[in-house]
Amino acid sequence: MSKKVLIIEDNDDIREGTAEVLDLAGYKTFTAKHGKIGVDLALKYLPDVILCDIMMPELDGYGVLYLINKNPQTANIPFIFITAKTERADMRKGMEMGADDYLTKPFDDLELFKAIESRFKKKQQSKTIGASAGSVEAILAELKAKGKLRPVSPKQIIYLEDDEPTHLYYLVKGQVKTYKRFKDGRELSSGLFHDGDFFGYESLCNGVPYAENAATLAASEIIQIPKIDFLEYLLSHQAVSKTFISLLSENVHDKGKQMLQLAYSSVRKRVAEALLQVAEKFGGTESDACTIKISRDDLAALVGTASETISRMLADFKDEELIDKTGNAINILSMSKLRNVKQ
């Protein structure tokens, strides 16, 4: 059966021209002259690859990509941007959002074929489940190889509450938080992640929509692994099951601890704990002192309190010479003393 290609592009000449070329090459093509139609067609025909312009009326390319990624049925379709814009910024934005490739107009037919074919080749490759009976690391590495690496800038949202999970995430490098939003808009951080952490697996594991949001705190590199690949590995490799059962158990353990604190510890104690948690996750050195950079709002979300209160507590800690502040950053002078904060 011939591969299906969806072309979303507002310029009639380019759209029809490209379609014609691809038809001749044996692909089955669908065309849409703006984003909205494009998304409808994608859902209807589930193409094998999507080519999409960025600047379009109705719904631009970024919007199309967002919607495509949000829907589990279409989330794993390779997505290639076509655009006249050659600027770096746009290219980066597109790749950050999870596009697989980029074609800059004008492109010749060879470029087009190569871009599309290399998508298929990559997909093909990742279809096979390796038989590496080796170490956990080897199998997890294999799993990671199924995903695509994506640079993400700070304060970018990775997924949102109630979205259908489509990927497992692995943080190669950077800082990510997961958080829940209370009705009135206040946030509570439920997890912090740094280099080498997996996240976003709970919802995948029992097939429900996300119960939390995830966003980067700092510039990061994230591998996103398609849901089906993850589930396949989860159920066919003991090592993978074992890893994620451990992760989940740890998660339960940590959340239980945090719950007890939330219920009965004073804000003062909880702020101290939060500082230590951030320091352990993101702080560099192994020594008793450490410098962390985090906004008051993020700290407040971690503690479950108002940001004003955080300011006051930090002022108190500074008076007591537990911490110091240089600009926005917080220097923890003694982790051990901070750990001993009572009440």
Which residues of the shown chain bind a second copy in the complex (CB under 8 A)?
Answer: 180, 182, 184, 186, 188, 190, 202-203, 205-206, 208, 211-212, 234-236, 238, 241-242, 244-246, 248-253, 255-260, 262-265, 304-305
- Give exposure, 164-173, as e/b (b: 16+ Cβ within 10 Å): bbbbbbbbee
CB of residue 313 to DNA, shortest distance in Å: 8
Per the structure block, which two tokens stand in for 221? Answer: 């590199």
185: contact with DNA by CB under 7 A: no
In angstroms, rounded to a whole number, what is the distance separating the alpha carbons of residues 217 and 231? 28
Q: Is the peptide bond before 106 cis (omega within 30 degrees of 0)?
A: yes
Please return the burial class of 296, using the count of CB atoms within 10 Å of its CB with bins 0-12, 13-18 and 19+. Answer: middle
114 three-state secondary structure: helix
The site partner of 278 among DNA, a second copy, none (C-beta below 5 to 8 Å per kind) is none
132 versus 249: smaller Cβ distance to a second copy: 249
The site partner of 250 among DNA, a second copy, none (C-beta below 5 to 8 Å per kind) is a second copy
251 versus 307: smaller Cβ distance to a second copy: 251
Per the structure block, which two tokens stand in for 55? Answer: 């600047």
The site partner of 242 among DNA, a second copy, none (C-beta below 5 to 8 Å per kind) is a second copy
143 versus 278: smaller Cβ distance to DNA: 278
CB of residue 331 to DNA, shortest distance in Å: 12
The site partner of 295 among a second copy, DNA, none (C-beta below 5 to 8 Å per kind) is DNA
Q: Nearest CA to 156 among 95, 214, 210? A: 214
216: contact with DNA by CB under 7 A: no
Exactly one of 4, 34, 122, 268 binds DNA (CB under 7 A); which one? 268
CB of residue 95 to DNA, shortest distance in Å: 22
The site partner of 206 among a second copy, DNA, none (C-beta below 5 to 8 Å per kind) is a second copy
Residue 185 CB: number of other CB atoms within 10 A?
6
The site partner of 312 among DNA, a second copy, none (C-beta below 5 to 8 Å per kind) is DNA
Residue 327 CB: number of other CB atoms within 10 A?
6
Residue 157 CB: number of other CB atoms within 10 A?
11
* DSSP letters spanning 187-205: EEEEEEEETTEEESHHHHH
181: contact with DNA by CB under 7 A: no
The site partner of 328 among DNA, a second copy, none (C-beta below 5 to 8 Å per kind) is DNA
27 versus 179: smaller Cβ distance to DNA: 179
Binders of DNA in range 293-332 (CB under 7 A): 295-297, 304-312, 314-315, 325, 327-328
Exactly one of 267, 289, 324, 337 binds DNA (CB under 7 A); which one? 267
CA geometry: angle at 301 spanning 297 and 305, to 5°?
95
Q: Nearest CA to 34 among 1, 4, 2, 67? A: 67
Helix (H) or strand (E) run with residue 326 in it = strand 323-326
127 versus 183: smaller Cβ distance to DNA: 183
Contact at 8 Å (CB) between 7 and 15?
Answer: yes
CA geometry: angle at 156 spanning 151 and 157, to 5°?
115
Binding site for DNA (CB under 7 A): 184, 266-268, 295-297, 304-312, 314-315, 325, 327-328
